[in-house]
Structure 1
């Protein structure tokens, strides 16, 4: 079946194009001047037609968290994110017991088979437990520890769906851990860390290629025994090959730092992530960070989740459309530039750019249609309109 999207401003590689975007079954067929006979027509009504958003760091949405341990939690979060333009997401765990982690692996596999009307699942992202307790943020310090080969190899063996793992490079054994991830084709990402410039460089040389929620729970210039040391943030700026992600909800990273990041790092090396917890898409008030069984009570107010003592943020409540809107309104990005950070860039980071992240013939028919204010009008996943 051929679907023709007409009257849209198509965000294609190289710029905005005007024409008819053709989707055939679950693939992009191309951009043409005419509507084929018997094609199903979608009128974009002058809106932007973009690649589907890719969220490579999210913990949940719609009142559900991926650590809840139920298939319905996965499906609920996927449906909520799809309503806001996300066509592919990477369910992200929080630091927990290994038993809870293994349960989440099984639940992920079941949910992927049942997911028919939500954002697709691209693979799992483990956030922890190999983090620095001083930079734990909202992570549960009870479970933080150093990487041990016998432990992480078992986890890796039990989770063939693992796509990414975030860790702190200053921990004992971290370089060997990064090398193991690289050997297995898993994205090794630096986060929740007090690492020095040199420790980050060692992780880079071992296989780390990405930085988790840049600026958040991350070291900068520090004085140690009277000497100054550059930190993780400085290394992220220095190493051209290192990609970074930001929680562009307008709260975690203020506008001046967004401008600085764009100026130094360049839009081509920045991805946008929600890092959303269960309250994304829900009214403000009391919520829980992590699984229902042993999660932390948090408060959602002022457009963000906070620990109860308000000493730190506890994840965002953003959806992908809000991230794009923030980059346009507060960071001065063009819409094509902001969309690239939510589509093409995360596809490259996760190694799936050959089939996702841009509107090109042969790629997956994942499309989002939104207006000038980045209000999502329609989400299409694998050629199927959602909602």
Structure 2
């Protein structure tokens, strides 16, 4: 489908267009932005529907997601095939992954790079706040659910992977070229980048291909790639779902500990992570075993955790220097991520892997 066949602007999300893709009579539709200051890589809107009960299974609100309104962000994400990956994820995989929002419509235009998603609104669950950070109980829930996701796609189960899902080492040349430039830009753009993190980025620079190759070695699984608290919705006693994960644009295949390392190093207050990190990693390892994974030990988990922290420095640098974080919340979010990541690197002596 071409971009002219789906909406790119809020005013184009009309009742008539929604009727055509949802196959339900829609009386009216209202659209409101919900992505400002969140660090989302696309433009995200809540669509309020009036359908007079004609769609018995259709909720009153849905989420519409399209390309970012920021030109630099849009170019960068197009280079990484991020919009295509998320569109294909919702079109081909999401229906079989219960922690992904339900897809209603998904399309991508390869010529323009535009994409369009209509997905479930999961705001009936509790949204995470990455700046505030999560509790131990919330972290435990995320760890167990992510282990279940990884187990379902573990190693030989992804041998027949779709060609659009890259491994960690695909595109490593691009990240190697961008890494040093990105961190210099971050140092100029943000007031509170830890000096130790800048030095860590310098040490990592010549090792980018090695790090990405290490995270691409078997056993591999389906990795969310951007598992941070702002992308997590948490259930409670009134809902069966444990969690829902949004923003699947960084999906790839690699060592599952990357997701865990990204979450623990950037979404949990530093003191809490220091107190409970070992317990959470052990819980992940045990959950893999309970879900049928064999041959991947707790020692493997801990070593991969440290390698993943190195790659997160690469990812945070390139993403942080490209996406639009200039709102008050965006700036606070970026500074929070970098501060927590620096402490995680130090606490786990991750840079020693490069000696």
TM-score by length of 1: 0.27
Query: Structure 1 or 2: larger strand share?
Result: 1
TM-score by length of 2: 0.29
